[in-house]
Amino acid sequence: MAVERTLSIIKPDGVRKKVIGEVIKRFESNNLKIVAAKLIHMSKEQAEGFYAVHKERPFFGEVIEFITSGPCMVMALEGEDAIKRNRALMGATNPAEAEAGTIRADFASDIQCNVVHGSDAPETAAFEIGHFFADNEIQNIIWD
């Protein structure tokens, strides 16, 4: 299985609910290593660039408003099959449909305020990590 990197965001609702620690604990105990991390308050431009693929969707404006409504914890995670495994830990987009024990089933309120983001493919992961982190902000050596 290939070692991958993926972008994770604990969205403003997760920060507000004080579940940063709970979410990170799940990553670390599932061998997803944090290789970059920062708490940021996204600008509108930064958010629109990040969510550009959703530009035509009817909820685009609401999502931009939500993601810029407060600080987010952005992280790059690394591990074998990290993209798929992170999304499995997150659960379905709509928490009502998320499997029990997933981050969204446990902490999310609704389809928009769903606590976490995770890249969905290697190409999007590379774009999204580059959108928030410079190369020298990503650690190359993290212990096993």
Which positions touch ligand GDP (CB under 6 A)?
59, 62-63, 93, 111-112, 114, 117, 120
Provide, rounded to whole angstroms, the least separation between the CB of residue 135 and ligand GDP. 25
Provide, rounded to whole angstroms, the least separation between the CB of residue 49 and ligand GDP. 14
Three-class SS state of 46: helix
User: In which region does residue 78 sit, left (phi positive, over 0), alpha (psi from -120 to 50) or beta (all else)?
Assistant: beta
Q: Which helix (H) or strand (E) holds 5?
A: strand 3-10
Provide, rounded to whole angstroms, the least separation between the CB of residue 53 and ligand GDP. 8
Let me know if 131 is a catalytic residue.
no
Q: How far apart are CA 105 and CA 126, in angstroms?
A: 27
Catalytic-role residue among 41, 54, 117, 131: 117
Using the minimum distance from each CB to ligand GDP, give the nearer residue, 30 or 112: 112
Using the minimum distance from each CB to ligand GDP, give the nearer residue, 94 or 139: 94
Using the minimum distance from each CB to ligand GDP, give the nearer residue, 102 or 114: 114
Helices in the chain by DSSP H: which ranges? 12-16, 20-29, 44-50, 60-67, 82-90, 103-107, 122-132
Residue whose C-alpha is closest to residue 117's, from 3, 44, 15: 15
Catalytic (active-site) positions: 117
